[in-house]
Structure 1
Amino acid sequence: MKKFALAATVAALVSALAPATAVAQNIATVNGKPVPKARVEALIQQVTKSGQQQRSPELEAQVKDVVVRNEILVQAAEKAGIPQTADYKAQLDFARQNILIRGLMDDYRAKNPVTDAEAQAEYDKFKAQNSGEEYRARHILVEKEEDAKALIAKIKAGGSFEELAKANSKDTGSAQNGGDLDFANPNNFVPEFSKAMTALKKGEMTQEPVKSQFGFHIIKLEDTRPATFPAFDDVKAQIKQRIEQQKLAEFQDGLIKKAKTDYTFSK
């Protein structure tokens, strides 16, 4: 009798606790349908994944609101027969594809992380390509050679290079700053411009218009300095991100090239 009584007591306790456990796994019910807590947790993970938001009581409350509202609206959509429409099925298929592709990219990224050594090598390569002198120049860009020659004459006669650039240069980006192009590596410019600029000494101006694909330039060299670079640690994150994007692009291209298809891509 004692064993039977004990078993009955345990069974009663289990029966009493089961509903409480089920309730603990849900945050609410909507029209009799439970809204699982796991749905809230999944959405919080998505929101905080990027690092732009941190988990907090306020965020949890907002996410719960969203999840319950969504459940109400989803039930209404189901009642209206939306899941049976062709448009819904097409969009669902697109969503499935996007989720799968994103998952594939995340999986590749996790299995092929960019190392500090790769980032350092990319940094060193860029630094080697852009070593040497940086030049700070001003220029005035016009369409016609005769206009450039007329401006050169005005400058030689005492006209202000900066004011004439503001009034005449069709390079609107630099014109408002008196033609100032700031410090830059010569490789950043078209060859004709670079060759003429590097031949100048500090304070000198080109005596003849310099023709390029953009028109005719008048160039004045303001200053030079050894090329400067940010410290590796200051740009490591950006370099890693760029390498990661390159790897993902190569991964996708590789899959596409290996695929057996009779389709011809337009690009």
Structure 2
Amino acid sequence: MKLLPQFALSTVCAAVLISPMAFAQNAAIVNGKSIPKSQLDRLVQKSGQPTNDPQVREKAREVLITRELIIQEANNRGLTQKEAVKDKIEQSRIGILVAAVFEDFVEREGVTEAELKAAYASIQADYTGKEYQVKHILVEKESEANALIAKIKAGASFADMAKQNSKDPGSAPNGGDLGWVGDKSLVPEFSKAMVALNKGQMTDKPVKSQFGWHIIRVDDVRDAKAPPMDEIKAELKQILTADENWQKAKFSEMMQKLRAKAKVQ
């Protein structure tokens, strides 16, 4: 039997050792081009799905392979050297940078305290009328609702009946409690019945809505008022930054500041 030369044997051993390591560090190798595992990890993280789910990771891996195949094919066909393609790539790059710079500007200095106060003043007008601290029990059938009303009138706890029978997953665990609500925040049938009740009063008959049959009880009533500005600053900022006119004015302001400190010859 002919023995391999020592250097050849070393080369084979090195290849055997290196190959598994390469695959351990990479998500895939496409036509010799490595896709790092870190790139796969970032993609899975951004998806918001479980990072250790094999199916999620395999789908993400396929996305990366598809991207790499497209890039390689574009290069092979010489498409990335075409001026029209270069222009479009550059336009996309600039668009991304413009959006990123503007977003950072807004985050750092775009929304002023005066603007927040003005936005707060504008929404205060929306807080008119009354607010109701209300509980309800939602069931599928009118007969079931009538039976529960009879039990509550006979002394059964409204909260217990809600926990045991209500089909509303949001309020049932809390004894049917919906918290403080305005009449415009609920479906019309519910609101009409709610505003007709006095403090501590329950509907004598079930109320029909698109969701089923409701038993409604009002625990308290108060004048509606806006929450303190400090509590809703994040929401106010969202309202402002979503307004197109505000965006245009702020972008103009940002560009003026950039030009003012720039040396343009």
TM-score range, shorter chain: 0.5 to 0.7
SS at match of 2:174: coil
Q: How far apart are the structure 1 equivalents of 2:181 and 2:145?
A: 23
Q: Does 1:124 align with 2:118?
A: no
Q: Does 1:104 align with 2:98?
A: yes
Q: How far apart are the structure 1 equivalents of 2:190 and 2:202?
A: 12
Q: Which residue of structure 2 aligns with residue 140 of structure 1?
A: 137
SS at match of 2:167: coil
Residues 107/168 of structure 1: CA separation in 2 closer, same or farther (3 Å cut): same
CA RMSD of aligned residues (A): 3.7
Residues 237/221 of structure 1: CA separation in 2 closer, same or farther (3 Å cut): closer
SS at match of 2:240: helix
Give the deviation of 1:133 after TM superposition: 2.2
| Consecutive unaligned residues in structure 1, runs of 5 or more | 1-80, 252-267
Q: Does 1:188 align with 2:182?
A: no
Q: How far apart are the structure 2 equivalents of 1:137 and 1:241?
A: 29
Which of these two proteins has the greater Rg computed from alpha carbons? 1
Q: How far apart are the structure 1 equivalents of 2:224 and 2:121?
A: 14
Supply the AA of the counterpart residue of 1:241: Q
**Out of 223, 227, 230, which is 1:230 matched to?**
227
Supply the AA of the counterpart residue of 2:172: A
Asked if the contact 2:138/2:212 (under 8 Å) is kept, the reply is: yes
Q: How far apart are the structure 2 equivalents of 1:126 and 1:157?
A: 44
Supply the AA of the counterpart residue of 1:133: K
1:25-36 equivalence runs, <5 A: none
Q: How far apart are the structure 2 equivalents of 1:226 and 1:246?
A: 30
SS at match of 2:220: strand
Q: Does 1:152 align with 2:146?
A: no
Asked if the contact 2:124/2:225 (under 8 Å) is kept, the reply is: no
**Out of 209, 212, 220, which is 2:209 matched to?**
212
**Out of 157, 165, 168, which is 2:165 matched to?**
168
Q: How far apart are the structure 2 equivalents of 1:98 and 1:165?
A: 55
Residues 233/139 of structure 1: CA separation in 2 closer, same or farther (3 Å cut): closer
Give the deviation of 1:171 after TM superposition: 0.3
Length, aligned pairs only: 172
CA deviation string 1:130-163 (max 9, x = no partner): 2332211110001111111111111112221111
Q: TM-score, normalised by structure 1?
A: 0.53
Q: TM-score, normalised by structure 2?
A: 0.53
Give the deviation of 1:249 after TM superposition: 10
Q: How far apart are the structure 2 equivalents of 1:159 and 1:131?
A: 35
Asked if the contact 1:105/1:248 (under 8 Å) is kept, the reply is: no
| Consecutive unaligned residues in structure 2, runs of 5 or more | 1-71, 81-85, 249-265
Asked if the contact 2:137/2:172 (under 8 Å) is kept, the reply is: yes
Q: How far apart are the structure 2 equivalents of 1:98 and 1:215?
A: 50
SS at match of 2:243: helix
Q: Does 1:246 align with 2:240?
A: no
Aligned-pair identity in percent equals 46
